[in-house]
A and B are shown apart, each in its own frame.
Chain A
């Protein structure tokens, strides 16, 4: 089974955000970058599917600056076979521009499955995966938390408000992973050493024109400091009174 996993390098989700001088991006000084957490589920799924199929290839694809190689390397250490870095000075805020570059790379790859995380933890777009599917005219199921594949057909489950959708599709397909799909493995130390020898191909990203522009980035307004109503159960009546008369939410 030939599987592509598209990953993104994002600031650590616990990083304190500082706005850069341009007022439209974050100050990356001292920021630790990690693989987008949702992409780890996609990677794990790809590795399991390859191994279950008894062979094939897992190709990890990232778009962005050179530093993305380290993120690709971390996925190679988990067990992926080779990497592709679509080089761009920075990752555009326009999800469609990114999707076009990825679609161009994936188009003739002969992949049975193309996997993404359901969203990027930094820019919160849930868009690139399904956009790539549309551009390649492939079936797509997003935010899956369960997957069964059998003879070129698949059934996936995705959580919706108040329930779970059971979705059928045929391969090749694009799927985006939700937390809970599996438990991502740690890269074993042997894998880290082996990753050094695995190839990473670097080529320019054929980005679409960016037509969504970040004009500003700002910190959210602080919630005004609340108050401690009191200590212990005796404070409850006062809390209920405040919720009713002041906050008016009862």
Chain B
């Protein structure tokens, strides 16, 4: 059985998650004894970007271009991906569980009459069946979801699957774009330039109620800046209090993040916060209360007054990175 990896571009550039999805498809296809096709959806001129997906693990790169595909086009993308998926003997369609992918994957699944797994952190093949491993109950349990269908759609949690290198080029060919425009993305309002999203950043610095007031988030922003490319996150308590926008909330009713480094400042670590960040590779906690639950998941902790510790940490990180 073959695997179709549906990739995602923004402004004509393939997103990092596309490489993760293609390599995950490669590993799965190898286990299933099949091939990997990567589907690129975008405005005309995607060939060059698409060609790189061969190296990233695709046997064939299928490019569907249409002027209306410049931004995410929910109906057109879904119709095109479903049309392609019906042709190549695919057992699995993989999509990244980004904001776009979470929207797209169920649409493709419904069109293919295929079962769906969202936000998988693992995919395996055994005894002729595909199984997705995925966190449920806000990360407090891991579910193995097995598919008993000719084709299944799985979205993969970003930052969880490593990209790889096939050491060979793939072929690039065009496929027909199916357009439909019942839902149109009129514009994309960009967040402040240079501002990283918590779900994408490799370093996240989050602040909680320990900061005592919205004005003190400058401490968090400065520390994030010292890391070079870190995103600012927030606990639910401070988002509910209106100190920070919901886009920054990490946890149950916010975003799930899996960065290389997560720094929790003044966050006690309620279950629903831990749910959103426990898969970070390394967790650092700074809190005045040494009994705070956050220390039970943190790899490294400092107990004390964040107003003294964070400025010092900002300084030291900046120095370490400069040196």
Contact = CB atoms under 8 A, between A and B. Distances in A.
Interface stretch (B20-28, B131-139, B167-175): B131-139
A2 interface: no
Contact of B261 (A96, A215, A249): A249
Contact of A179 (B254, B299, B308): B254
Interface residues on B, range: 35 or more
Contacts of A16: 140
B99 A231 contact: no
Contacts of A125: 106, 116, 118
B72 A233 contact: no
A69 B290 CA distance: 44
Contacts of B147: 211-213
Interface stretch (A43-51, A81-89, A157-165, A185-193): A157-165
B74 A140 contact: yes
Interface stretch (B31-39, B44-52, B60-68, B280-288): B280-288
A131 B74 contact: no
Contacts of B74: 140-141, 167
A226 B297 contact: yes
Contacts of A225: 296
B136 A217 contact: yes
B137 A247 contact: no
A119 to B, nearest CB: 8
Interface stretch (A59-67, A197-205, A234-242): A234-242
A168 B183 contact: yes
Interface residues on A, range: 35 or more
B164 interface: no
A91 interface: no
Nearest to B104: A130
Contact of A233 (B113, B139, B261, B309): B309
Interface stretch (B85-93, B207-215, B245-253): B245-253
Contacts of A13: 138, 252, 271-272
A246 B34 CA distance: 40
A96 B118 contact: no
A161 B137 contact: no
A166 interface: yes
B97 to A, nearest CB: 8
Given A140-B183, A226-B295, A240-B320, A211 B313 contact: no
B186 A166 contact: yes
B216 interface: no
Contacts of B247: 159
Interface string B75-112: 10010000000000000000000111011011101110
Given A13-B138, A124-B119, A134-B107, A162 B302 contact: no
Contact of A216 (B117, B139, B144, B305): B144
Given A13-B271, A15-B137, A226-B299, 18 more contacts: A131-B116, A133-B107, A134-B111, A143-B103, A159-B247, A160-B98, A162-B197, A165-B188, A166-B187, A170-B182, A178-B246, A179-B246, A218-B142, A220-B141, A226-B298, A228-B301, A239-B316, A243-B300
8 contacts: A13-B138, A96-B114, A125-B106, A212-B116, A214-B143, A215-B144, A229-B301, A229-B302
In the A-B complex, the 4 residue pairs with the smallest Cβ-Cβ separation, listed nearest first, are: A134-B110, A127-B106, A212-B115, A160-B99
Interface of B: 71-72, 74-75, 78, 98-100, 102-103, 105-107, 109-111, 113-119, 131, 134-149, 152, 182-191, 195-197, 199-200, 203, 246-247, 249, 252-254, 260-261, 271-272, 278, 281-285, 290, 295-305, 308-309, 311-313, 316-317, 320-321
